[in-house]
Amino acid sequence: MASEGEEVSPLTGDSMDKLAVWGIASDFVNLIRQDGADAHGQPALRTRAEGQGNPCRHCLQLIAEGEEMRVLAYRPFDTVQPYAEVSPIFLHQQDCPHYASDRLPAWFAFLQPALVRGYDRSDWIRYETGKVVAGTELEAECERILDDPDVAYVHIRSKFNCFQCRVERA
């Protein structure tokens, strides 16, 4: 239970340590919106959102049904190496604000389940950190993983292994 004056997680209601949660970089998103190449060297597919499960990885908000969006292959690593996974992601076609916050978006509570794992400074998976958790447990699990000084950052992925966001120590 949080004491007076402590920040409280909107997902769990518990007090929380500071996290740094990032959407993907604006420079990359702008390149994709101008028909730049995705992780497979091809332009992103331009389509309209169907249903409610289309999260933009730049603003970390859901893309409204019928709204124009991009679908592309994304590799959230600077270099190609054995652990540099590629996954499909969605982006708003229109400008949207870059997500940078000390907490996860509230809708992440509905990721059922989510994959979470830590990476070291060489971008290699720290196998002991990998876990499948309910969306409501994500913040606490990210904090637990980031307590390990050998972990540089955490990736959150959907149950389909689609990259959602990067989480670091604040």
Q: Do the beta carbons of residue 16 and residue 49 sit within 8 Å?
A: no
Q: What is the pLDDT of residues 10-46, one digit of tens each?
A: 444 444 458 999 999 999 999 999 999 999 999 999 9
d(CA 151, CA 51): 36
Q: Any idea which of 13-17, 57-61, 146-150 has the lowest mean pLDDT?
A: 13-17
Evaluate if residue 1 carries a pLDDT over 70: no
Evaluate if residue 89 carries a pLDDT over 50: yes
What does pLDDT average to over the chain?
91
pLDDT above 90 coverage of the chain, percent: 88
Q: Give Cβ neighbours of residue 170 (< 8 Å, ≥ 6 apart).
A: 17, 18, 19, 20, 102
Longest pairwise C-alpha distance within the chain? 52
Q: Do the beta carbons of residue 34 and residue 96 sit within 8 Å?
A: no
Closest residue by Cα to residue 90 from 19, 152, 146, 165: 165
Residue 138 pLDDT: 97
Domain boundaries, the chain: 26-92, 102-169
CA distances 13 to 40, 83, 99, 159, 162, Å, are: 41, 34, 22, 24, 27
According to DSSP, the β-strands at 163-169 and 19-22 are antiparallel
